[in-house]
Amino acid sequence: MTGGRENLGQVKNPEGMDETLLSKAERRDTAVHVQGLRKHYGEVHAVKEVDLTIKAGEVVALLGPNGAGKSTMVDMIVGLTTPDSGIVRVFGLPPRQAVLEGVIGAMLQEGALLDDATVIEMVGMVASLHKNPLPVREALRKAGIEELARRRSTKLSTGQKQRVRFAVALVADPDLLLLDEPTAGMDVRRRHEFWHSMQEFTASGRTVMFATHYLEEAEEFADRVVFLRDGRIVADGSVAQVRSLAAGRTLRATISGVSEPAMRALPSVVNVEIRQDKVAVLSSDSDTTLRALLSRFPHARDVEVVGVGLDEAFLALTSRTRTSEGELS
Partner 1 sequence: MNLGYLALELRRVLREPGTLLFIIGFPGAFYLLEAVIFESQWPARSAIDPGAVLLPAMAGWGVLISGMLVGARVMNEREAGWQRQLRLTPLTGGGYLLGKAAVGLLVSIPPPIVVALAAALFRDVRLDLGGWLFVTLVITLGGTPFAVLGLLIGQFGNKKNTQQIIIIGMLVLAIFGGIFIPLDSLPPWFTYVGYATPSYWLIDLGRAGIEMGGDPMRAGLILLAWTVVLAGAVIWRYRHDSARN
Ligand X SMILES: Nc1ncnc2c1ncn2[C@@H]1O[C@H](COP(=O)(O)OP(=O)(O)OP(=O)(O)O)[C@@H](O)[C@H]1O
Binding residues for partner 1 (CB under 8 A) = 71, 75, 78-81, 99-102, 104-106, 108-117, 121-122, 124-131, 165, 168, 172
Nearer Cβ to partner 1 (117/239): 117
Q: Is 71 an interacting residue with respect to Mg ion (CB under 5 A)?
A: yes
CB 119 within 8 Å of CB 148: yes
**Stretch in the footprint of ligand X (CB under 6 A) among 38-46, 122-130, 293-301, 306-314:** 38-46
Nearer Cβ to Mg ion (124/182): 182
Considering CB under 6 A, how many residues would be counted as binding ligand X?
12
Closest CA to 20 of 85, 82, 89, 101: 89
Least spacing, CB of residue 240 vs partner 1, in Å? 33
Among 67, 185, 267, 307, binds ligand X (CB under 6 A): 67
Nearer Cβ to partner 1 (116/147): 116
Nearer Cβ to ligand X (2/268): 2
CB 80 within 8 Å of CB 73: no
What residues are paired with 104 via a beta bridge? 176
Q: Is 162 an interacting residue with respect to ligand X (CB under 6 A)?
A: no
Q: Is 182 an interacting residue with respect to ligand X (CB under 6 A)?
A: no
Phi/psi region, residue 328 (left: phi>0; alpha: psi -120 to 50; beta: rest), is: alpha
Q: Is 240 an interacting residue with respect to ligand X (CB under 6 A)?
A: no
78 SS3 class: helix
Cβ neighbors of 190 (< 8 A, separation 6 or more) are: 159, 183
Q: Is 44 an interacting residue with respect to ligand X (CB under 6 A)?
A: yes
- Measured N-to-C along each axis, helices 158-170 and 188-202 cross at an angle, to the nearest 10 degrees, of 10
Q: How many Cα atoms are found within 13 Å in the side-chain-facing hemisphere of 32? A: 27
Among 4, 64, 83, 144, binds ligand X (CB under 6 A): 64
**Stretch in the footprint of ligand X (CB under 6 A) among 65-73, 118-126, 134-142, 272-280:** 65-73
Question: How many angstroms from the chain centroid is the CA of residue 267?
Answer: 28
CB 222 within 8 Å of CB 210: yes
Q: Is 68 an interacting residue with respect to ligand X (CB under 6 A)?
A: yes
Among 13, 20, 66, 204, binds ligand X (CB under 6 A): 66
Q: Which does 68 bind (CB under 5 to 8 A by kind): Mg ion, partner 1, ligand X, none?
A: ligand X
Least spacing, CB of residue 117 vs partner 1, in Å? 6
Distances (CA, A) of 160 to 113, 142, 186: 11, 13, 9
Distances (CA, A) of 296 to 250, 290, 291, 306, 327: 18, 10, 9, 21, 22
Among 4, 58, 69, 314, binds ligand X (CB under 6 A): 69
Nearer Cβ to ligand X (46/300): 46
What residues are paired with 252 via a beta bridge? 280, 304
Binding site for ligand X (CB under 6 A): 41, 44, 46, 64, 66-72, 109
Binding site for Mg ion (CB under 5 A): 70-71, 109
